[in-house]
Structure 1
């Protein structure tokens, strides 16, 4: 049996979709359906500090606890659970107990009681220490930086292609073509759906 470690937002649950609905509701409708960069300031059209504040407000709201699961995540988690694998969630949404409760309930409502451990770190905090503790495993992320940290910690690492991380794959490919010794993420596997992990 193997240990699968999942990031949550935009891997298991559609955080961007929920946040976009929240933005529309307060009159900050983004021009595009999804951000094309990890920093969402340009997508929303406001400064970084104001963007971070909106993220904090959204993550504290009831809507954060009602995010929709990705269909491929539902299928994969069900299959892994049926096969007896260990499943862990490692997310940097917040360590505020109320927000943690929203996250855990949302996961349970969508996937059932399949994650014996849901680790919630402060918003934006590095996952490096926990990735060291949880190794070896299979790490699934959408954040390029966290994917590289997982790979460096010894995990088999997959990164889900999302509009906000596409530039990293393109940039990594260019660096590899020019000088393969300048890139350290050749063991990170880019995927379009979670089914590819199986």
Structure 2
């Protein structure tokens, strides 16, 4: 039996950075320092000194201000991978730390429905809530993430965890029991290897 696949959403399936960058410019008049943040601390990327502004801006974005959050583009390769794995019989779900408010759930579900055909199970985690209890309750699965803390949690709770590398998570951490990957092409090769036929032996 194939292990299910648990997908993180932002930075894995959907391009939240692209959407947030557009919202910052069109609503706030803020031009970000580069196309993508270089660390988890978004203050430098946004060009602000106030962490409270960063948190408030993300909450407003996720809650539907400007309708950007519900209309994020898929990351390159994500749609094809999800479709291919479903055709192979993998069950899948989403574990997203975007927040738990009703507007956020509605926006996220509609976005995933439109882009990926939806997911039977989407679990919503608060912005500063740990994914650990959710991961502990799920059967041993593949877990695809872009957050180092969550990747460590995935590995610690018994999941085969893949961390998609970006500028903000490129620094190695101690005792990594997950695998770093460059993107969906490499992830696809890992799953293709799982399905490679066993070599034939001539007696």
Q: Do they fold alike, i.e. is TM over 0.5?
A: yes
Q: Does 1:100 align with 2:115?
A: no
Shift of 1:97: 1.1
Quote how far apart the aligned CAs of 1:194 are.
2.1
In the alignment, is residue 157 of structure 1 matched against residue 161 of structure 2? Answer: yes
Asked if the contact 2:9/2:95 (under 8 Å) is kept, the reply is yes
Match status 1:41 vs 2:31: no
Contact 1:92–1:125 (8 Å) recurs in 2: yes
Alpha-carbon distance in structure 2 between the residues aligned to 1:57 and 1:154: 34
Q: How many residues align?
A: 183
CA shift, 1:130, in A, is 0.4
Q: Which has the larger radius of gyration?
A: 2
Alpha-carbon contact 1:5-1:140 (below 8 Å) kept: yes
| Separation of aligned partners in 2, 1:4 and 1:50 | 35
TM-score by length of structure 1 reads: 0.89
Give the CA deviation at 1:59.
0.7
In 2, the alpha carbon distance for the partners of 1:55 and 1:105 equals 19
Q: Could you list the runs of 5+ residues in structure 1 that have no partner in the other structure?
A: 173-182
Contact 1:36 1:164 in 2 (8 A): yes
Q: Distance in 2 between matches of 1:18 and 1:102?
A: 13
User: Quick check: 1:14 aligned with 2:15?
Assistant: yes
User: In the alignment, does 2:103 pair up with 1:112?
Assistant: no
Mapping for residues 43-192 of structure 1, pairs under 5 Å:
43-46=45-48, 47-61=50-64, 62-113=67-118, 115-167=119-171, 169=172, 172=173, 183-185=174-176, 187-192=177-182
* Deviation string, structure 1 residues 77-112 (Cα, Å, up to 9, x no partner): 000111111101001101101110100110010011
Task: Assess if the C-alpha contact under 8 Å between 1:135 and 1:153 holds in 2.
Answer: no
Q: What does the per-residue CA deviation read over 1:59-81, in whole Å, with 9 as the maximum and x for residues that have no partner?
A: 11211000000121111100011
Shift of 1:195: 2.9
Specify the SS of the correspondent of 2:68. helix
Q: What TM-score do you get using the length of structure 2 for normalisation?
A: 0.87
Unaligned runs of 5+ residues in structure 2 are: 192-203
Per-residue deviation, 1:124: 2.4
Q: State how far apart, in whole Å, the 2-side matches of 1:29 and 1:165 are.
A: 22
